[in-house]
């Protein structure tokens, strides 16, 4: 089948599973050495083999800090793959969201460039199963493989790989030259994919049938892997959930300025000598570096990518918009999409407080562009924000706020849509429109579910009948010991949720295997390729193909704004 793109709007809910099963080692050979694993059971009782903590790169410590990853050395003896390894260094999510002080909250270890492999077939039972490689999200600042336990996905006949990559300043600091070009976190992902291609056949996987998928910054990372020439031949299909490289939060900016500020805050006496500055930062204790990095983010209302990907002329030769416009991307099958209320978690900063909207009103020139992640490189960020707020909220100067409940009822859903459309859906649709002439495009919008992001909104925002950013994770992942992931598992799944979980995971598996999420009518519906009107699959009750003309009006609104992204896409 010719490549296919699927624009997705997913929903979410959850359940908890126990991994208390007998463990027995199963040896697998890799190019670096042998690794033992354990047996575990999926949510439907299927036994599978797990291999945790396989290093794909040398520990990026000392003079390797801020450098491109180097392939792992061989190891002697048998590598113990029975336990999950430490996350890459980061602050806790509560700190990043500004809900906890930074003191004592550093997590992880610099020796973190590991991947985990889960399979049904190894050794004599090897079969060429489709391979699915998950890249976690977290704004390039937090997250780990602990957020993607395998127990749901391993109900399917796949080989699942989850990987870790460097985050924050360790993953994306740059001097904007050859000294530290940046994009270390993306390069980590590429090296992990190269390791998978070289070794996955020993785990029962087909190296010619690899699908990469991710959510949020992980989804944007998937798009970066499609765009970079450095990952050519490493995968054949891709799934992007809630984001891509066109999203305004997907790229960092002012990298050198941020690097100098970080070094200055840590006491560097000379930030003009870049070699000296980098050597100074390489010698700084890890905890100090991570805390200072977090403090650069916490003072802002949203999660900005102070340290994020950059156009370096090599790994990313040009801006993603330009690469997309020129057709410089891999010919891979593709699914991409969003959740129905992506903006809810982001809008919570304003609607979760009695004076939330007055924060925007009283400081519109600062807060409104910030709420839309409009960067300084925009020519007229305040004007763009004013036009958007007028279009969605229907006010020209100030929003009256008699009470939090009244404001939420009147403006909440609309503001969620404003944030969603600009930060996520608009870029996804722009990407889809650009690729229609190159690929078959499938689009999907989810319309049922329960949000697990309510805890980040410090007030009653009313209805729970929306599905926020990252809520779709709980259709694909469940269980495990990560305390942050467990926090979101407190809302039990309904029968309808479980049905959607089965439908989504079946479509993802079938897509990984065939390049088409519904090659037959076994699920009771067919997900048809879309056209330039972006006809989509509505995942609700019932699941059906639909067309929403109102989305075209909104899409046309965003594409006519004089934003930097539109100027790049349509010069």
- Asked whether the CA dihedral 301, 303, 307, 309 is positive or negative, the reply is negative
Q: Using DSSP, state whether 160 is helix, strand or coil.
A: strand
Q: What are phi and psi of 442, to 5 degrees?
A: -110, 135
CA angle 561, 567, 571 (to 5 degrees): 130
Task: Label residue 469 left, alpha or beta by phi (over 0 means left) and psi (-120 to 50 means alpha).
Answer: beta
Q: Which of 188, 161, 202, 163 is nearest to 32 (CA)?
A: 202
Instruction: Return d(Cα 117, Cα 100) in angstroms, integer.
Output: 34
Catalytic residue list contains 465:
no
Instruction: Return d(Cα 317, Cα 430) in angstroms, integer.
Output: 20
Q: Which of 202, 216, 221, 105 is nearest to 163 (CA)?
A: 221
Q: What are phi and psi of 17, to 5 degrees?
A: -130, 150
| First-to-final CA distance of the chain | 33
| Active-site entry in 42, 50, 148, 216 | 216
Strands 4-8 and 440-446: parallel
Q: Bridge partners of 133?
A: 161, 212
Q: How far is CA 327 from CA 236, 288, 309, 556, in A?
A: 17, 43, 20, 22
Quick one: 67 exposed, middle or buried, by C-beta within 10 A (0-12, 13-18, 19+)?
A: middle
Count the neighbouring beta carbons within 10 Å of the beta carbon of residue 510.
Answer: 20
| Active-site entry in 49, 342, 373, 425 | 342
Q: Which of 414, 177, 185, 169 is nearest to 273 (CA)?
A: 177
Instruction: Return d(Cα 367, Cα 351) in angstroms, integer.
Output: 14
Q: Which of 159, 164, 112 is nearest to 140 (CA)?
A: 164
Instruction: Return d(Cα 329, Cα 453) in angstroms, integer.
Output: 34
Element (H, E) at 7: strand 4-8
Q: How far is CA 2 from CA 7, 198, 441, in A?
A: 16, 25, 11
Quick one: 382 exposed, middle or buried, by C-beta within 10 A (0-12, 13-18, 19+)?
A: middle
Q: Using DSSP, state whether 450 is helix, strand or coil.
A: coil
Tokens (6 digits) for 435: 């690729």
CA 426 to chain centre: 16
Instruction: Return d(Cα 151, Cα 148) in angstroms, integer.
Output: 9
Contacts of 555 (CB under 8 A, 6+ apart): 426, 429, 534
Catalytic residue list contains 342:
yes
Q: Compute the chain's Rg from CA coordinates.
A: 23
Could you identify the residue written with the tokens 């200055």?
264
Active site members = 216, 342
């Amino acid at each position: 089948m010719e490549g296919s793109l699927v624009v997705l709007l997913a929903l979410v809910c959850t359940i908890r599973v126990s991994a208390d099963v007998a463990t027995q080692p199963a040896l697998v050979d890799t190019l670096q050495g042998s690794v033992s694993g354990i047996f575990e059971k999926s949510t439907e009782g299927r036994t599978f083999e797990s291999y945790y903590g396989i290093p794909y790169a040398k520990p990026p410590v000392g003079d390797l800090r801020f450098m491109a990853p180097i392939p792992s050395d061989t190891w002697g003896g048998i590598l113990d793959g029975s336990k999950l390894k430490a996350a890459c260094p980061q602050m806790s999510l509560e700190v990043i969201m500004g809900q906890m002080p930074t003191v004592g909250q550093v997590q992880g270890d610099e020796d973190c460039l590991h991947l985990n492999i889960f399979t049904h077939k190894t050794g004599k039972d090897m079969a060429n199963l489709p391979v699915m490689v998950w890249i976690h999200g977290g704004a390039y600042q937090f997250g780990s493989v602990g957020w993607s336990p395998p127990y749901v996905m391993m109900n399917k006949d796949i080989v699942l790989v989850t990987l870790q990559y460097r985050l924050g300043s360790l993953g994306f600091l740059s001097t904007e030259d050859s000294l530290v070009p940046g994009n270390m976190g993306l390069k980590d992902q590429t090296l992990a994919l190269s390791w998978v291609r070289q070794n996955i056949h020993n785990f029962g996987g087909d190296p010619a049938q690899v699908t990469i998928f991710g959510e949020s910054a992980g989804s944007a990372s998937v798009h970066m892997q499609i765009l970079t020439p450095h990952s050519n031949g490493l995968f054949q299909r891709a799934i992007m959930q809630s984001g891509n490289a066109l999203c305004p939060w997907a790229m960092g900016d002012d990298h050198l300025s941020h690097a100098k500020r970080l070094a200055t805050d840590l006491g560097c006496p000379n930030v003009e000598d870049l070699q000296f500055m980098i050597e100074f930062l390489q010698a700084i204790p890890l905890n100090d570096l991570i805390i200072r990095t977090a403090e650069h983010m916490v003072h802002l209302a949203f999660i900005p990518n102070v340290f994020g990907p950059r156009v370096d002329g090599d790994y990313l030769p040009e801006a993603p918009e330009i690469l997309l416009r020129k057709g410089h991307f891999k010919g891979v099958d593709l699914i991409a999409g969003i959740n129905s209320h992506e903006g809810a978690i982001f809008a919570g900063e304003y609607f979760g407080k009695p004076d939330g909207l007055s924060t925007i009103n009283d400081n519109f020139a600062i807060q409104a562009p910030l709420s839309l992640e409009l960067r300084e490189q925009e020519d007229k960020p305040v004007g763009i924000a004013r036009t958007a707020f007028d279009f969605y909220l229907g006010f020209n100067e100030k929003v009256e706020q008699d009470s939090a409940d009244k404001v939420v009822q009147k403006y909440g859903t609309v503001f969620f849509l404003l944030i969603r459309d600009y930060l996520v859906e608009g870029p996804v649709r722009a990407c889809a429109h650009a690729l229609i002439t190159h690929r078959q495009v499938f689009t999907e919008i989810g319309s049922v579910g329960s949000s697990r992001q309510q805890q980040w909104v410090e007030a009653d925002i009313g209805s729970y009948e929306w599905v926020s950013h990252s809520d779709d994770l709980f259709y694909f992942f469940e269980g495990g010991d990560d305390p942050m992931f467990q926090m979101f598992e407190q809302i039990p799944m309904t029968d309808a949720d479980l049905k959607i979980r089965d439908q989504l995971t079946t479509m993802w598996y079938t897509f990984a295997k065939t390049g088409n999420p519904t090659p037959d009518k076994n699920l009771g519906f067919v997900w048809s390729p879309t056209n330039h009107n972006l006809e989509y699959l509505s995942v609700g009750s019932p699941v059906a193909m639909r067309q929403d003309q109102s989305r075209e009006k909104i899409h046309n609104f965003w594409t006519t704004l004089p934003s930097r992204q539109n100027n790049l896409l349509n010069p």
